[in-house]
Amino acid sequence: MSELKNNHFEYLVDKLSRWYSKNQHIPQADVYQGNNDLSKLKLLKLHFFVCAINSKSNSLLEVFDNFVAMPYGHVELDLYNAINNNELKAFRISSDSLTKIGNIDFNINATVKIEIDKAVNDLQSENQELITADALDLVDLSHNWFSWQSMFGLARKENRYIQEIPQEIIKYESKIFSFI
């Protein structure tokens, strides 16, 4: 797992926490102290949606290049492991919330930063309320995607609970960002 991938993810998490702060009318300092529901599950779902929204025209799926289908939807496996192993430098992400634990010094690629900024803005434009959705609602939303249905279905046929998702499927499938 690359430290650079973790840094890019932490930059994205900070962007999502700022969106949350603004949407919920909670001071950013309070969000950093854990006054949020930005759980591991919720952040991993939001991360997927950010990576998918402009996937035909950006390279976020090349930066975050290890998506798998698991029971609770799409997961970038390297980030899942980094969160579980407490490998992030700026944030601690639990099953309940996000807490800032260190300095936020994002040593990231400038092009990737621009792509993350654009993707988060586009996701906000697509569904401003997505940031306040319950984690399990985000799971349900991700379960509507062909990439999850097909790959998790394949995993289950083989008695497994995890299956790699080819980037091409995510890039070209119909994107769903609103609750039906």
DSSP 36: S
pLDDT in tens, 88-116: 999 999 999 999 998 877 789 999 999 99
| 84 contacts 46 by C-beta, under 8 angstroms | no
Banded pLDDT at 175 (limits 50, 70, 90): very high
pLDDT in tens, 137-172: 999 999 999 999 999 999 999 999 999 999 999 999
Residue 147 lies in a domain: no
Write out the residue range of the structural domain in which residue 31 sits: 3-66+75-133
pLDDT in tens, 38-91: 999 999 999 999 999 999 888 899 999 999 999 999 999 999 999 999 999 999
Residue 97 lies in a domain: yes
This prediction has a pTM of 0.96
Residue 110 lies in a domain: yes
CA 62 to chain CA centroid, nearest Å? 14
Residue 162 lies in a domain: no
Structure tokens at 28: 């950013």
Q: How many domains does the chain have?
A: 1
Residue 129 lies in a domain: yes
Return the H-helix or E-strand segment holding 19.
Answer: helix 3-24
Residue 108 lies in a domain: yes
Residue 170 lies in a domain: no
- Amino acid (1-letter code) at residue 113: K
pLDDT in tens, 17-46: 999 999 999 999 999 999 999 999 999 999
Residue 31 lies in a domain: yes
